[in-house]
Every structure is written in structure tokens, then in C-alpha cells.
């Protein structure tokens, strides 16, 4: 009898003992496979996109504090455990670009040292993307930033409409370069009256591929502007044309290389008929709007009766809202990859398209290990 009691007791003890262990293992597996979404911004205006993304995902924004000390140093305090979890850091870039970069780097490093499993940056507008080529004695800052992000602990990046798609080669980890064109195309179809009478315009030959993609998808005509001054490509005097020092050497006189002829800007021309049409200028970034204002004036002179500008990233720096309000531009449509609520208050012509849906879907698919091909349907290499 006593032996039976001992056996039953041991069996009951084993059954009770295995139950909490199995429950604990389940909890550990859930925690191990969980993910958190953090915002690396210290300003309220920049956290709006992060809140929209978390609302679509049905999760809470991670508890963290990002602030600037009195000497402008960036400090990040993560208020919850992230051990063994996949972390998504959403970072929208305001006007103070360098502060935003430091916030992202410090938060990524803080999560790395807190034993996060994967740290994925969601950076819709990638800063310094225009500085992706060597210009005279400059540097490729975009490559430097990619190296800094990798060193800080990022293992993956989700971005949108990189200025040059070749920038993905700067990174040593995967980069998902999403597209905002489906949202902008939908806006044209739903919000532009009589869009069938529109023509897609590239304000420079370098933007012709993007404009061609829009024109083919909307079954519209294409026009290209040629001859305008490119401020970013201007040749600044840096001493390269100064005569070399004369040296009294009896060695080889050197090779006489043929001199390149200096570039001469042709008069501004519009290749394509815009008379009596709605002109829609498409680009990836709208920052200094002088070029867009000048293009709108030319199109107005050529007979376009309405002028729209479609761009993914609306930086709208300096006096951009005032210049747009006083120009012949009827509407500027940008996405919410960059906060621009202040500019919208100054200029009612600025409209916003929400792209939080595709960013949230990208986060969900990466976390679940699903294919990202769904987000790139019908997107070619030239898009």
C-alpha cells in the first residue's frame, strides 16, 4: 500500500512539475519570437508615422526615451527588455538631419548591447542619399552612413525610393527599397480631375525613366524638359584649372591629354506638347523648389492649364512653402515619409499621401518570414 502511495505521489508530482515547465517553455518561445517597434525620434512631429504604423500592426510602440541633453548630446533610455527579440526602429528624418542620425545610431547601439536578436531600421527617407557619388575632392557620405549603421548594430533596412537604387550596394546587410509610386498613381487617378487629359513631365532628362514609368502605367503622354541649370551639378572653382608649378626637370615631359570642351547649357526646351493639358511633374525628392517653380513657369508659357508636382519625399526646406504659394504650381503632392505639417500650414497647396500601409506590411512580412515579392508586384528595374 505504501509503495502504491509513493508511486501515485511521484506520478502526481511529475505531472504537476511538467505543467509549469511546459508553460515556461511556451512563454520563452513566445518572447523569443516576439518583436517590438520603437521610434528613435525626440520630437512629437516625427513620431506620427511610427504611431500610424503600430496602429496598423496592432502593437504598442516600444517604451523608450530619446532626448537631447543641455550640451546637445543624444541620450536614449530603453524602458523594457528586448533580449532575444526582433526590433524595428522607425526613424523619420526632420530638418535637423544630423541629430536624427545620431538618435538612430545611439538607439541601435543601445538595443544591440541589450542583446536584441535582430535590429531592423525603418528609414523611409534615407538621409545623405544625394551624396552617393564622388564629386571632385568630396566624399561619398552615403557610403559612410551605411558603414556607421552597420557598426551600430543594424542588420536590415527598410527604406523607400532611394535617390539612386545603386545605394543598396553600400550596405553589408539586406536593404528593402519600397516604392511609393502605387500610392501616387492612385492619387492621380482619384484626385486629379480629368487626369486622362494629363501629360507626365520629367523636369530633367535624368528623371525621364521615372516619368516614363508613370506615363506607361497611366496610359498618358510624356514630355521632357531640357536645358535648365542643375545647381547640384554645378562646377565650383576648386583650383583644378590653375597652372601647375613649373619644375626644372629634364625627365619625360609628360603626356598631352586632349582637353574637354566646356559644357554650354542650351536654351530651355520642352520635348512634347503640353498645350491645353494638365502637366504632372514627377520626381523622388522636392527640397529646394526653385527648379520646380521655373519648370512650372515654362510649362505655363507652353500652354499647360494646370500643374501638379508628385514626389515621394517632401523636404520642402527654407522658403519652399512661400515660393510654392506664389508660383504657378496648382498642387504639390508628397508622402508622409518626412514630417511637413508646418509647411502645410504655410501653404495649402501641399497635399499628403499616407504610405504607412506598405511600411507596416513590410514589417509584418519580415517578422513572419514571408516573401517580400508581394510588395514589388509589376515593379521593373527602371522603376
Which of 159-163, 205-209, 265-269, 336-340 shows the lowest per-residue confidence on average (mean pLDDT)? 265-269
pTM for this model (two decimals):
0.82
Shared domain check, 196 and 64: no
Residue 40, helix vs strand vs coil: coil
Rounded Cα distance between 361 and 367, Å, is 10
Shared domain check, 223 and 120: no
Q: What's the confidence (pLDDT) of residue 134?
A: 87
Position 141 in a domain: yes
Which of 179-188, 245-254, 257-266 shows the lowest per-residue confidence on average (mean pLDDT)? 245-254
* Tens digit of each residue's pLDDT (9 = 90 or more) over 283-295: 999 998 999 999 9
Shared domain check, 327 and 187: yes
Q: Mean pLDDT over residues 342-349, rounded? A: 94
Shared domain check, 210 and 126: no
Label residue 1 by pLDDT band (50, 70, 90): very low
- Given a cut of 60, whether residue 33 has pLDDT beyond it is no
Label residue 256 by pLDDT band (50, 70, 90): confident
Query: CA of 232: how far to CAs of 10, 131, 137, 284, 303, in Å?
Result: 80, 10, 15, 15, 29
How many C-beta atoms lie closer than 10 Å to residue 320's C-beta? 24
Number of domains in the chain: 2
Position 321 in a domain: yes
Position 276 in a domain: yes
Position 260 in a domain: no
Shared domain check, 115 and 50: yes
- Among 178, 205, 239, residue at a domain's last position: 178
Q: Mean pLDDT over residues 340-369, rounded? A: 95
What is the span of the domain harbouring residue 310?
A: 182-229+267-353
Q: Mean pLDDT over residues 93-120, rounded? A: 94
- Among 137, 153, 178, residue at a domain's last position: 178
- Given a cut of 90, whether residue 106 has pLDDT beyond it is yes
Position 102 in a domain: yes
Q: Mean pLDDT over residues 121-127, rounded? A: 96
What CATH number is attached to the domain comprising 114?
A: 3.40.50.2020
Shared domain check, 325 and 215: yes
- Among 154, 178, 202, residue at a domain's last position: 178
Q: What's the confidence (pLDDT) of residue 320?
A: 93
Shared domain check, 157 and 205: no
Shared domain check, 167 and 193: no
- Given a cut of 70, whether residue 238 has pLDDT beyond it is no
Position 375 in a domain: no
Position 77 in a domain: yes
Which of 104-113, 173-182, 261-270 shows the lowest per-residue confidence on average (mean pLDDT)? 261-270
Query: In the numeric block, which cell numbers belong to residue 62?
Result: 516600444
Position 21 in a domain: no
Of 7 and 241, more confident: 241
Shared domain check, 341 and 197: yes
Rounded Cα distance between 145 and 196, Å, is 42
Of 321 and 22, more confident: 321
Q: What's the confidence (pLDDT) of residue 257?
A: 77
Shared domain check, 303 and 340: yes
Q: What's the confidence (pLDDT) of residue 121?
A: 97
Query: In the numeric block, which cell numbers belong to residue 114?
Result: 541589450
* Tens digit of each residue's pLDDT (9 = 90 or more) over 137-185: 889 999 999 999 999 999 999 999 999 999 999 999 999 999 999 999 9
- Given a cut of 60, whether residue 259 has pLDDT beyond it is yes
Label residue 244 by pLDDT band (50, 70, 90): low
Q: Which stretches within the chain are classed as H helix?
A: 2-33, 48-57, 97-113, 141-152, 181-191, 208-218, 290-301, 320-326, 341-346, 356-368
Shared domain check, 194 and 101: no
CB 310 within 8 A of CB 184: yes
Residues 6+ apart with CB under 8 A from 338: 92, 93, 94, 124, 125, 313, 314, 315
Q: What's the confidence (pLDDT) of residue 221?
A: 95
Shared domain check, 102 and 198: no
Q: What's the confidence (pLDDT) of residue 17?
A: 43
- The fraction of the chain above a pLDDT of 70, given in percent, is 84
* Tens digit of each residue's pLDDT (9 = 90 or more) over 45-81: 889 999 999 999 999 999 999 988 999 899 999 999 9
CB 366 within 8 A of CB 320: no
* Tens digit of each residue's pLDDT (9 = 90 or more) over 212-227: 999 999 999 999 998 8
Q: What's the confidence (pLDDT) of residue 56?
A: 95
Q: What's the confidence (pLDDT) of residue 144?
A: 94
Amino acid at each position: 500500500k505504501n509503495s502504491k502511495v509513493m508511486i501515485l505521489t511521484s506520478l502526481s508530482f511529475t505531472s504537476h512539475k511538467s505543467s509549469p515547465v511546459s508553460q515556461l517553455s511556451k512563454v520563452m518561445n513566445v518572447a523569443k519570437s516576439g518583436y517590438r517597434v520603437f521610434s528613435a525620434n525626440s520630437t512629437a512631429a516625427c513620431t506620427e508615422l511610427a504611431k500610424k504604423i503600430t496602429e496598423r500592426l496592432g502593437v504598442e510602440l516600444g517604451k523608450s526615451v530619446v532626448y537631447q541633453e543641455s550640451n546637445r548630446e543624444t541620450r536614449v533610455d530603453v524602458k523594457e527588455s528586448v533580449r532575444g527579440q526582433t526590433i524595428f526602429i522607425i526613424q523619420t528624418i526632420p530638418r535637423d538631419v544630423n541629430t536624427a542620425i545620431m538618435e538612430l545610431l545611439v538607439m541601435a547601439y543601445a538595443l544591440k548591447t541589450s542583446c536584441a536578436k535582430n535590429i531592423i531600421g525603418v528609414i523611409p527617407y534615407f538621409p545623405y542619399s544625394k551624396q552617393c557619388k564622388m564629386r571632385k575632392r568630396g566624399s561619398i557620405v552615403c557610403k559612410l552612413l551605411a558603414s556607421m549603421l552597420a557598426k551600430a548594430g543594424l542588420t536590415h533596412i527598410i527604406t523607400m525610393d532611394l535617390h539612386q537604387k545603386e545605394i543598396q550596394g553600400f550596405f553589408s546587410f539586406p536593404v528593402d527599397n519600397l516604392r511609393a509610386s502605387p500610392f501616387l498613381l492612385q492619387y492621380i487617378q482619384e484626385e486629379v480631375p480629368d487626369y486622362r487629359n494629363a501629360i507626365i513631365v520629367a523636369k530633367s532628362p535624368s528623371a525621364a525613366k521615372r516619368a516614363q514609368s508613370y506615363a506607361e502605367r497611366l496610359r498618358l503622354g510624356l514630355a521632357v524638359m531640357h536645358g535648365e541649370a542643375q545647381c547640384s551639378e554645378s562646377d565650383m572653382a576648386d583650383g583644378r584649372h590653375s597652372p601647375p608649378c613649373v619644375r626644372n626637370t629634364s625627365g619625360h615631359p609628360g603626356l598631352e591629354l586632349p582637353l574637354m570642351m566646356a559644357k554650354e547649357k542650351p536654351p530651355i526646351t520642352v520635348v512634347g506638347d503640353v498645350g491645353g493639358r494638365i502637366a504632372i511633374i514627377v520626381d523622388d525628392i522636392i527640397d529646394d523648389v526653385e527648379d520646380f517653380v521655373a519648370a512650372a513657369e515654362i510649362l505655363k508659357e507652353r500652354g499647360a492649364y494646370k500643374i501638379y508636382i508628385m514626389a515621394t519625399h517632401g523636404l520642402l526646406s527654407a522658403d519652399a512653402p512661400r515660393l510654392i504659394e506664389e508660383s504657378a504650381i496648382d498642387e504639390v503632392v508628397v508622402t508622409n515619409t518626412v514630417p511637413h505639417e508646418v509647411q502645410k500650414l504655410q501653404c495649402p497647396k501641399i497635399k499628403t499621401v499616407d504610405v504607412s500601409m506598405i511600411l507596416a506590411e513590410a514589417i509584418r512580412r519580415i517578422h513572419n518570414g514571408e516573401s517580400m515579392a508581394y510588395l514589388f508586384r509589376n515593379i521593373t528595374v527602371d522603376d
